[in-house]
Structure 1
Amino acid sequence: MVKEQITEWIRDGKVKPGDKIYSEKELSGMFGVSRHTVRQAIGALVHEGLLYREQGAGTFCSASPNLSVNESHAGASLGTGLSAGLSAGVGAGPSGFSPANVNRKNIGVITTYISDYIFPSIIKGIESYLTAEGYSLTLACTDNDVEKEKQCLQAMLDRGIDGLIVEPTRSSNYNPNINYYLTLEQKQIPYLMINQFYSQLMPPHLIVNDDLGGFMATDHLIRLGHERIVGLFKTDDLQGVNRMKGFIRAFRENQVTFFPEMVLTYTTEEQSSAVIRRLEPFFNGTSPLPTAIVCYNDQLALAVLDLLRRQGLRVPDEVSIVGFDDSPLAEASEVKLTSVTHPKMEMGTDAAKWIVAAVEGREQPPQSVVYEPRLVIRSSTAPVKGSEREG
């Protein structure tokens, strides 16, 4: 009921993109339901990309349910997985352009995903700054597929973009589309990579210190007395590889015995369901159960939480979980996830500032920025039973 009503408000234009919605307390009183029910409804709408949360500010509308998220950025389909957008408030014509934007500078943005998880917040940060500076925005999504990335890059070049913000596709592998980035350099079109970068190019980039984040998550658990800790990591993106490095480093620096079988990995094709299947036997055998799990991101952490529920295991009483990204999903369940932060909207805004400065030839922006993460401790972690730290 709550979810349907909020969706109807957005569809009818009573709540517009960027508008703040009622608080959990207000919605609970309006509908006569518990705050837990409201929280679940909001969490579902955040996951669908209709709402987004800003820590300390509230929950906001991000899209209209009558449009895809790409179209909510005034997009027009260009085919081959690419959607193009204009800055907010300007309608797109059949070709994806409107006359009002003909003379405006156009920034391309390519991300692996658009409509879910932390991506709406990153894109909103980019869009807000570009719109304020009078730029238009062309948005594309690769689905973490290198062939789609190739098509997106070609379409961006065909559109005559003035600058490009891009999240690499499968950044831990060799990228076959390097020539497109070299073409950008040849044409003197500035580009910036976010979240990771292709090491072959060493381009300007904004990234999180993922190694430190993986270390902080694991060190937190070790300090709570955990030693049998499983790490789940996605390995075709450098974020996952670096988080795994931090995981291993925490064992070494704390002089805790490391068991190789306690690291489980997966790739984009396999998706998180594959690693969940490989995790399940840990809780079905006769060996001592893991007491804690470090997850590649919060999405995976929620899937692990579901598995543990099915196994009849309580979090954090029997198993502790740490996620990564401190996304809205970290607070979407009744068990609030301990999670490593990601700058999200700040990164998006910083990326937009960087690319505008580069396009306009302002003072040289920094070649790279590394955001230092924090660990946000919530109710999904606790001292291991029987440890000296329990009490």
Structure 2
Amino acid sequence: MVKRYVRHLLRDDIISYRSKIPSEHELMDKFQVSRQTVRQAFGALEAEGLIYKEQGKGTFSNYDKGAGQNRIVAVVTTYLSGFVFPGIMSGIEQVLSDEGYMMLLSNTNNIKEREARYLRSVLEHNVVGIIIEPTASSQANSNLKLLRGIEEKGIKTVFINALYDDFESAYVLLNDLKGGLMATDYLLQMRHRRIAGIFKTDDKQGIDRKAGFLKALSAAGIPEASEFIGEYNTAQMYDYPYMFAQSLLQKEGSPTAFFCYNDQCALMVIRAIHDRGLRVPEDISVVGYDDSASPMHSEAKLTTIRHPKKEMGIQAAKFMVGMLEGRMRMPQYMYEPELIIRKSCRNL
């Protein structure tokens, strides 16, 4: 509150460069807060280079609007629209805007070469931090050298959704292994035994969700059936889930349930089920992942694992600001998954 108010005074030229800002006592009275609270705000603003103190004289503005002080944070995601990304972007933008930072947004379409191009741009331009979702994160990190260069330049980095195993960084993640386990356990509790899993495996999220799926089956004493496991990559994501589900449903002893990498995948599986003249959940049960908006309004009323979306964006941006202000070094947080039960599954 105090920090935001002082920043507003500086950025809107209410207090000009090198002019005195309100004293500790004035701010304590205005906001009815303690001296410690005001001093913490001053310390953060001083760390950002926005104010400075002169012994015996007070605290002054160090914000020169004409100097174009650098307050740009790059945000690089695999996609911009659909899936969980609008919510994540909304959370990031909310915090960065409140804290006086600009957001420079780009997406890689999960292509390593595009990620390299944006990382080079971060190195070449006046950027203080980067919030990034790694591209094709289960594959070899071909852009490690660029990430090391960003680190050496002092540019702060926060990863979201996944990590590169060979690059240590701040991060905000969802426990996808546990999410896969939780979704599969739910189907097992409903007495399903022939459960198919479909996973996007060029992203680490898919690898972890598959690991949770297999762990749940193993704990239930169900042997892994390779013919019930489908794997696809980014280039196949708009057709593979439908075709794989169709191929399984044509066979004797077909699955009674599907666990899908995400809700988009689940909707394609549901379409395949309907195209075979079958119903969800009366004939086949389906569980998705991410709790994106469209499945909530679909005919299927999809049971799914909730992705924190906006909360993840807010947390990632808070970590970024904390590191830029010197309050945090390498913060890390992992959300626990939550199963959202709707109407796409039934007991056998």
After TM superposition, the score normalised by the length of structure 2 is 0.79
Higher Cα Rg, which structure: 2
Q: 1:288 and 2:261 equivalent?
A: no
SS of equivalent to 2:193 = coil
Is 1:313 aligned to 2:248, yes or no? no
Spell out, residue by residue over 1:187-215, the C-alpha distance to the aligned partner (whole angstroms, 9 max, x if none): 11110110001001132211111000001
- The answer to whether residue 79 in structure 2 is matched with residue 113 in structure 1 is yes
* Residue in structure 2 matched with residue 122 of structure 1 by the alignment: 88
* Residue identity opposite 1:278 in structure 2: F
2:122 and 2:150 in contact (8 A); partners too: no
Relative distance call for 1:155 and 1:101 in structure 2 (3 A) is farther
Structure 1 stretches of 5 or more lacking a match? 1-98, 385-391
Superposition deviation, residue 332 in structure 1: 2.3
Q: Give the partner amino acid of 2:186.
A: H
- 1:258-311 CA-to-partner distances (Å, cap 9, x unmatched) read 3121111001122241232122121123x1221000000001101111111111
Q: Distance in 2 between matches of 1:232 and 1:360?
A: 43
Q: RMSD value over aligned CA atoms?
A: 1.4
What is the aligned residue count?
Answer: 284
- AA of the residue aligned to 1:112: T
What one-letter code is carried by the residue in structure 2 that aligns with 1:352?
A
Q: 2:91, 2:325 → 1: CA distance?
A: 19
Give yes or no for the alignment of 1:276 onto 2:268.
no
Aligned match of 2:335: 371
Give ranges in structure 2 of 5+ residues lacking alignment.
Answer: 1-64
Partner of 1:329: 294
Q: Secondary structure at the match of 2:199?
A: strand
Looking at structure 1, the residues matched to 161 and 136 of structure 2 have their Cα atoms a distance apart, in angstroms, of 11
2:312 is aligned, of 334, 347, 366, to 347
Which amino acid in the other structure matches residue 288 of structure 2? Answer: G
Which residue is 2:227 aligned to?
261
SS in 2 for 1:325: coil
Deviation at 1:143? 0.4
Report 1:150-299 matches (<5 A): 150-285=116-251, 287-299=252-264
Q: TM-score, normalised by structure 1?
A: 0.71
What amino acid does structure 2 have at the position aligned with 1:167?
E
CA contact (8 A) 2:70 2:126 kept: no
Q: Counterparts of 1:267 and 1:131 in 2: how far apart (Å)?
A: 35
Query: Contact (CA 8 Å) 1:104, 1:136: kept in 2 or not?
Result: no
Please state how far the C-alpha of 1:365 moved relative to its aligned partner: 5.2
Instruction: Report the Cα offset of residue 165 of structure 1.
Output: 0.3
Amino acid of the residue matched to residue 333 of structure 2? V
Bigger relative contact order, structure 1 or 2, given CA contacts below 8 A and separation 6+?
A: 2
Identity %: 39
Please identify runs of 4+ aligned residues in structure 1 that moved more than 2 A: 99-104, 363-366
